[in-house]
Structure 1
Amino acid sequence: MNISKRRLAIAGLISISLVAAACGGDEETAETTEAPAAETTAAPAADTTEAPAADTTEAPAADTTAAPAEGGELELAAGEVFVTGSSTVEPVSIRVGELAAELSGGDLAVTVEGPGTGDGFQKFCEGGADVTGASRPIRDEEAQACADAGIEFVELEVAFDGLTVATSPANTAIECLDNAALYALLGPESEGFENWSDANDLATEVGSNYVPFPDAPLVVNGPGEESGTYDSFVEFAIADIAEERGTDEFTRADYASSPNDNLIVEGIEGADTSLGWVGYAFYKAEQGRMKSIAIEGEDGTCVAPTDETIADGSYPYSRSLYIYVNTASAAENPAVASYVELYLSDQGLIDQVGAAGYVSLPPDRVEATRSAWSA
């Protein structure tokens, strides 16, 4: 990365086009690889921009040699890197870290944690991490916190995800839902609903096409408010109806929330009439334990999350995934720059993204990400 060139200013308004979308979120687990965290230093603020939406396809498995984005052999610097943030992005970051260790003979050591998008931004903007993953764009107040602390960063789109609403495979009564149904079942006015059928009147009032619901226990599992997947779900399913009705843009509070996606999967599997939401990769890896619920789009068609529907944007809950890099850390610690270069190589953006269960960016979005890093 050429740090002396134009930087992206964090004070600017960040506009995001989510095409293939959810950990904090989405989304956050506590799994880490073992290596001490690298120090970070403060730098002045910078702007971020984002590429437009596009179609994408997945690509084949990774080679055993490292190569940079533009071709040729990539030399990895020795050192330590600390990555925090979204548990949705965490599996990709771990895989890239493991590849870095393998290709460097252990000289490049990367520690990855996944406490959640929101918690990750907090740590990152305090100078406590070199890189943070995010399942949503940085918020204005988070960017301001970075600016106040003198943290300069670059935003890099790395993959597409599809926030997946799921239930138990035993729940044959539910195959597709619309936003109105999800608002009635999981929104702020659903507090205290213990059965699916308790939401019938509210769902009818807000215009759902999927009432009546079954008279069966409603057991809800999902990420907590620290998660970017929580934020994405609120944006997709709750926010518009809440605004129309003058209610808070939150989910109900009385459900089993966890920053650990694996625990959410266990909760969804554990009740025959469960309801919950996770990132697509966690659903894809555990399809035998969960059943995805199709989401009704604007044209009334029910669309299930697949690689294809996430890639072409037809799945209504598609979104982008990101990493944010402390540019001062990258300039002062060659290991950070090496890790990001590997992340943005074909081995990262194609091989490791696909291996983690997400959808790779199309060529124009890959080029935009690499251009943002090299600027």
Structure 2
Amino acid sequence: MKSAKIAALVSLALAGIAASSSSFADTLVKVDGSSTVYPITEAVAEEFQKAKKNAIKVTVGISGTGGGFKKFCRGETDISNASRPILKKEIDDCKAAGIEYLELPVAYDALTVVINPKNDWIKALTVAELKAMWEPGAQGKVTSWKQVNAAWPDRPLKLFGPGADSGTFDYFTEAVNGKSKSSRGDFTASEDDNVLVQGVARDVGGLGFFGFAYYEENRDKLKSVPIIAAEGKPAVSPSIKTVIDGTYQPLARPIFIYVNAKSADKPEVKEFVEFYMKNAEALTKEVKYVPLPSKAYTYNVDHFNKRLKGTKFGGENKVGTTIEELMKLEAK
């Protein structure tokens, strides 16, 4: 799947339009969850269905990481896309419903802060400046760029971000504000990243954040902002290179699929997961995410075949986990 297809595919998923054809068998793999992970899983699903000559149908929906886990913990889906690890409440909800799961990291993402191309006063942003914009106490009070930094113009600050069911929202608020879901509420929110793209693209005073693939898809309409993680640190732009070398912090993060343990015993789900891990490295690159090392996907297949259940993240985001640290975690 080419990157240019992402926007159209996401719009179809959000509209709840699932491709149907008499050539599809009744065999079905149901996936839902993160809009960030969607491009990878949808690319895998397309290639898998071609390889199976449509004998197995894979539906991939978008209800956000949190919304996806709600469905997953009710036993409504086989696989949940997640742009953060499963959280404590979701672990408890799944346990209460008797849902066990396998956690498989599939790629890394550079959560990207974007501004309008006509914005000529921002060269980089510190985490402290992002916090001044997004923290709960800023609601109704911090409404212009000048209020964040006196050197910036007195122009309205218009913020765009994912909704509360988004794992991207959870990760960003924890990385920037110090607590997941802790945020001002007076911003334009949408689970559709393309709505956020259009919002920032139309407003010179706009600022938003979402996954790197959506920035890459729309870099002719937006500018990405280099991030200064802490005082004395250099400004680092989001890129595949800076995610791999661990310098893009604190907004680089692993992304996952979670597989229902009972579903893992279904032949169609087993085939899909094994196909996913075999092809994830190439397809992740194709849709502009950062693949894990090859050994990670081999480990995932072994992890899946041994039915190693649960999470290695303890119900927390673990902000700032690098690829190297993730691999050490997975090797335990």
Q: Same fold (TM over 0.5)?
A: yes
- Structure 2 CA distance for partners of 1:122 and 1:175, relative to 1, 3 Å: same
Partner of 1:175: 123
1:86 alignment counterpart? 34
User: Which residue of structure 1 lines up, in the alignment, with residue 86 of structure 2?
Assistant: 138
**Amino acid in the other structure paired with 1:259:** E
Give the 3 Å change call, closer, same or farther, for CA 341–367 of structure 1 in structure 2.
closer
Of 301, 305, 322, the match for 1:370? 301
Matched, 1:197 2:146: yes
Aligned mates of 2:28, 2:17 — CA distance in 1 = 12
Q: Deviations over 1:180-239 (max 9, x none)?
A: 101111111211122111234xxxxxxxxxx53321111111101110000111111111
What's the CA shift string for 1:91-123, capped at 9, x where partnerless? 111111111111111111000001100000010
Q: 2:169 aligned with 1:233, yes or no?
A: no
- Distance in 2 (CA, whole Å) between partners of 1:190 and 1:275 is 15
Which of structure 1's runs of 4+ aligned residues deviate more than 4 A?
none
Q: Percent identity?
A: 37
SS in 1 for 2:104: strand
Say whether residues 1:30 and 2:14 are aligned partners: yes
Aligned to 1:297: 229
- SS of the aligned residue for 1:82 comes to strand
Structure 2 Cα separation of the partners of residues 96 and 338 of structure 1: 12
Of the three residues 209, 215, 219, the one matched with 2:158 is 219
TM-superposed CA distance for 1:32, in Å, is 5.8
> What TM-score do the two structures reach when normalised by structure 2?
0.82
TM superposition shift of 1:125: 0.4
Q: What's the offset of the Cα at 1:312?
A: 1.6
Following TM superposition, by how much is the alpha carbon of 1:327 offset from its aligned partner in structure 2, in angstroms?
A: 1.5
Say if 1:249 and 1:262 are closer, same or farther in 2 by CA, change over 3 A.
Answer: closer
In 1, Cα distance between equivalents of 2:152 and 2:15: 37
> What is the alpha-carbon distance in structure 1 between the residues aligned to residue 38 and residue 294 of structure 2?
23
Q: Any conservation in 2 of the 1:79–1:334 contact (CA below 8 Å)?
A: no
Contact 1:34 1:110 in 2 (8 A): no
Query: Aligned partners of 2:241, 2:155: CA distance in 1, in Å?
Result: 33
Q: How many residues align structurally? A: 288
Show the 5 A alignment for 1:1-375: 30=14, 34=18, 79-192=27-140, 193-200=142-149, 211-239=150-178, 250-298=182-230, 299-316=232-249, 317-331=251-265, 333-345=266-278, 347=279, 349-375=280-306
Structure having the larger proportion of residues in helix: 2
In structure 2, give the amino acid aligned to 1:359: V
Q: Under a length normalisation based on structure 1, what TM-score does the superposition of the two structures give?
A: 0.73
Encode CA deviations 1:33-63: one digit per residue, 9 max, x unaligned. Answer: 6268xxxxxxxxxxxxxxxxxxxxxxxxxxx
How far apart in 2 are the matches of 1:30 and 1:234? 24
User: 2:170 touches 2:181 (CA, 8 Å); kept in 1?
Assistant: no
Deviation at 1:366, TM superposition (A): 2.6
Q: 1:130 and 1:32 mapped to 2: Cα distance?
A: 17
Q: Which amino acid aligns with 1:196?
A: W
3-state secondary structure, aligned to 1:220: strand
Please tell me whether the aligned partners of residues 32 and 112 of structure 1 are also in contact (alpha carbons under 8 angstroms). no
Alignment-mate amino acid for residue 194 of structure 1: T
Distance 2:78 2:271 in 1: 12
Higher RCO, 1 or 2 (CA under 8 Å, sep at least 6)?
A: 1
Query: For each residue in 1:327-368, what CA deviation from the matched residue of structure 2 results, as whole angstroms up to 9, or x when unmatched?
Result: 10121x2111111111110x2x11211122101101343333
Q: CA deviation at 1:31?
A: 6.0
Where does structure 1 lack aligned partners over 5 or more consecutive residues? 1-28, 37-76, 201-210, 241-247
Q: Which protein is bigger by CA-based radius of gyration? A: 1
Q: Deviations over 1:237-257 (max 9, x none)?
A: 1117xxxxxxx9611100100
